[in-house]
Structures are given as structure tokens and as C-alpha cells.
Homo-oligomer: A and B are copies of this chain.
Amino acid sequence: MNTEQFRVAAKAAIDEIANYHDSVPEHRVVSAVEPGYLRPLLPASAPLDGEPWEAIQSDIQSKILPGITHWSSPGFMAFFPCSSSYPAAIAEMYSNAFNGAHFNWICSPAVTELETIVMDWLAQALGLPECFLSGGPTHGGGVIHGSASEAILTVMVAARDKYINEATAHLPEGEDKEEETWRLRSKLVALGSAGAHSSTKKAAQVLGVRFATVPVSQDNGFSMTGEALTKTLDELRAKGLEPFYLTATLGTTDVCAVDDFASIASALGPRAGKPGEIWVHVDAAYAGAALLLDENKPLAEPMAAFHSFNFNPHKWMLTTFDCSAVWVRHRGHLIAALSIKPPYLRNQYSDNELVTDYRDWQIPLGRRFRSLKLWFVLRSYGIRGLQAHIRNGVSLGESLEEKLVSREDLFSVFTRARFGLVTFRVKGDDGGEEEVNRRTERLYEAVNASGRFYLTSTVVNGHFAIRVCTGTAAVREEHVRGLFELLVETVEKQLKE
């Protein structure tokens, strides 16, 4: 394909993409294909000779589109949203044009420098404490990862090395120190609340350290408290174990609970800044975007007591997947844990510490130019435009909650609307918990089978609940009303049967 053919083909693709966006509401939300649908449609091997562009492009409509679940559909209220936008899509086009591996500053200075700047912009817009700014007092800063899972693994590595280094700093180099290091490694425990996303457990599994759960209860809205944390820590330490890392959550995946940051900070206070300190990472993958709203700014203040923070602009902030924003209070801990300097990566700028080499802030070496889409999104919408989008999701969640409450003969709200997430259950008669679980699951399956909406469910402390998330950009009051009517109609029919 030469440049002229590219102009034609790419512009035709733009039209097709624009048409797709406008037609999304007409599609069934979730793809209806059966497992294995695609293999019989494609040849058994790659073609020997190149195919004409028209043949390739037409397969998008005929073979790929049927296998797509439409995350931008106003009926998509499952998981958390994965929101895209036109400005982000155009940014990605430029990013691909400036294609490179970008592991060093010199690989394309703009890639590194824009990332530092927009991550500072974003930290300010969220109201994060200044320790997370690149020019802040503790030499912190932000970096873009691909996913919260990577972010959590990365900070857990830094936390582990920091913990071990500080615990063995008093020992002289030698065999004793090495032995103590290995003894400590075998005792390390990473923690998260029962509501923490599975990525913390997975990171512990990857690193080969223990994982322990801090219980949460419905009385506290499933929020982790300092008290519960202290109890868990005491139990672990009584067994000779070494808790070194904690994920606290702002907006848990199952019910959008917010952990009690103030009491967690108090509980950990006595060891803060000393050997044995526990690294606290705050995972705000979804709900972090809500810190853009002034009314949520107080939630950001306690972060000053913690070590790192992440949220995913690709979830609720219109920044096409993938874009996970991570900030640390001391970048030195990341670099100490992750830096490797072989001769073929050396260059005068890095050697003289004039520049940031983000490869030392992450697991991969190469990096995409992801800051471009964040920059385009922040500028196209402006902070006020983004606030309006977030407020829309928040208030639609509240609207659904109100509707559910209006039919408390049929539904009980399990956790109230927060950050656009409501969870609820179907009312039971006298069949107890099991009957409620069964009825709720039945409703959940029927609504998803309709193809009009896509919801997910969760099980919290044995309670089966339906999750509805109204954060997808296209959701409007009419869709929430439509969902509610379908819920009522379906459950009434099911109760009659």
C-alpha cells in the first residue's frame, strides 16, 4: 500500500468507523456468536501473496463485527466502562504515525516529556497531594502504564525491595545479610481488602509472595477500616510473617466501596517512615476519575500518607484503551527496583540524569506514545467538559437507585449508587438468602439474554447481586428508564411463573 492508496483506504475506514459509532445503539450489546465461530470463516494459513485491500477491509463488516461486544453502547452497563472518544482516536492515529519503541528519552523526547507534563496536569486536576507531582518535594511523579494490573505489580516490586533493603540496612554486606534477605522474602505478605481487585492477588502470585485478605462487612459499606487492618496485621505478625504492602481501594470492583483512608493511615502511622513501614497503594482504577469533581476532592487529601496511586483514564475518562495512570511519591523506589543499564541502552542524556527514562518505572522496555491521547482528551473536553461527563454517570446511577427504591416490593438496593454503580437484588418471600440469590440470578440472566443491555453480577459475602454501572459515555436517562422497565417487566413475569 503506497501513500496515495493509504489516503484513500484510511479515509474510507474513517467513514466506516464514524458510521459504526452512530449505529452502535442499534446493535445487540453482547455479541451472539458461538465459541469457535471465526475459524471456519478464515483460511487455514496466511496467504502466500498479498490480498487486495478491498477484500481485507470488507472482512471487518462480515467476519469481525458479528464477534464484537459493543462497549460504547448505551446498553453496556457491565463491568466498568471502557470509554473512548474521537479526540483520543485521532491521537492514536498520530501516535502510530510516530511509531517507535520509546524506551529512552532520546528515542523521541516528546514522548517522555509530554507524559511528565500531562501526568502533572492530571494529578492537579484530581487534587492529588503535591508529593505526586514530578517537581514535588519528594521527587515523585506519574507514568502511564497499560493496565492497573501492571501498575499494581510494578509498585509491589518497589515496595518489596524497599521493605527488604530497609529491614536489612543495619547488617554489613555478606552471608548473614544475604541469609536474612532470603528469610524475609519467605515471610512477606501483600494485603488487600476482600473487595480489592483480583490484580493484587495476581501480583502477589506473580512475585511469589503470600497474599492476605482484610475482611470487610456490610455494616461499613464493604469499606476496609483501620481496625480490621490492624487485626489482620496483628494476626500475620503473630505468625512471624512480614506484611510489606497494602492495596487500599477507591471504588471497589464489586460495589464501588471506598476504603476508610483516614483510619488506615492512623493504623499504619506508628511505622510510617521507618523500617517495617507498609507501602500503601491506592487503586482507584475506575472511580479515580470522579476526583475531577470538586465535591470528591476531599477523598484525594489522605493520599499524602500513602505511597502510590493509580486510576485508568481508559475506564471513565474517555481515553481510549489502554491508559492507566500511576503516580508514586518517591520515584527513586521504582528506579531502584526496576533499573537495568546494559551498554546498548546507554546515551549521554540518560547517563547525565538530565532526563526521565520511563523504562525504569515499568516492567516493559518499549512504550507507546500514550500521553498524546490523554493530552488531546484533556484539551478537547477541558476539565469542565470531563466533569460534565462524570456527573452524568454519577447522576444516572442515582436515578436508577431511586427507581429501584420506588419498587421496593420487587427490589432491594444492595449497595447505594456511588460513582455511577448501583447493586441490587430481587426481594424474596420466605425462602431466605438462597431464594433471593436464585431469583436475582434468574433476573440477571434473563436481562442479559435480551441483548438490549449487558449487566454483570457479583457475589459479596455470599450475597448474589446485580451490578449496574452507568459510566458509559452514551448512557442517558432514557436508557436507565428502559433498563428499569425491563427489570420490572422481567421480574414480574418470573414471579408469576
Contacts and interface: CB of A to CB of B under 8 A. Distances in A.
Interface of A: 1, 3, 5-7, 9-11, 13-15, 17-18, 20-22, 30-31, 33, 35-39, 42, 45-51, 53, 55-57, 60, 63-69, 71-72, 79, 82-90, 92-94, 96-101, 105-111, 113-114, 116-118, 121-122, 124-125, 146-150, 153, 157, 160, 182, 185-186, 197-199, 201-202, 205-208, 253-254, 314, 320-322, 337-338, 340-345, 349, 354-355, 363-366, 368, 372, 376, 378-385, 456-459, 467
B7 A14 contact: yes
A152 B258 CA distance: 35
A14 B149 contact: no
12 contacts: A6-B89, A10-B89, A21-B97, A31-B108, A38-B117, A47-B383, A48-B382, A51-B382, A71-B100, A82-B101, A89-B96, A208-B208
Contacts of A121: 45-46
Contacts of A384: 48-50
A468 to B, nearest CB: 13
B365 A35 contact: no
Contact of A11 (B11, B51, B108, B364): B11
Nearest to A374: B46
A65 B94 CA distance: 10
Contacts of A146: 146, 364, 366
Nearest to A124: B45
A113 B67 contact: yes
A79 B185 contact: no
A322 B368 CA distance: 7
Contacts of A321: 99-101, 366, 368
A380 B5 CA distance: 12
Nearest to A312: B366
A106 B30 contact: yes
Given A49-B384, A205-B340, A96 B84 contact: yes
Given A11-B14, A37-B113, A186-B186, A69 B363 contact: no
Contact of A147 (B63, B84, B365): B365
Nearest to A88: B96
- Quick one: copies of this chain in the complex? 2
A423 B146 CA distance: 35
Contacts of A46: 118, 121-122, 124-125, 378-379, 382-383
A68 B369 CA distance: 11
Contacts of A63: 110
The 7 A-B pairs of least Cβ separation, nearest first, read A67-B110, A147-B364, A71-B100, A84-B99, A38-B113, A50-B382, A182-B186
A113 B344 contact: no
A97 B17 contact: yes
B381 A50 contact: yes
Given A5-B86, A14-B14, A206 B207 contact: yes
B343 A110 contact: no
Contacts of A372: 64
B101 A355 contact: no
A329 to B, nearest CB: 20
A109 B64 CA distance: 9
Contacts of A185: 185-186, 208
A206 B39 contact: no
A50 B383 CA distance: 8
A27 to B, nearest CB: 11
Nearest to A55: B379
A109 B14 contact: no
A368 B20 CA distance: 18
B385 A20 contact: no
A89 B92 CA distance: 9
B343 A96 contact: no
A6 B86 contact: yes
Interface centre among A22, A124, A208, A368 (most CB of B within 10 A): A208
Given A99-B82, A379-B47, A94 B344 contact: no
A322 B320 CA distance: 15
A294 to B, nearest CB: 12
Interface centre among A14, A118, A148, A186 (most CB of B within 10 A): A14
A435 to B, nearest CB: 19
Contacts of A376: 56
Contacts of A382: 46-51
Given A38-B113, A39-B116, A89-B97, 17 more contacts: A10-B17, A10-B90, A11-B11, A45-B121, A46-B121, A47-B378, A47-B382, A48-B382, A50-B379, A60-B94, A67-B111, A69-B108, A82-B99, A84-B99, A147-B364, A185-B208, A363-B363
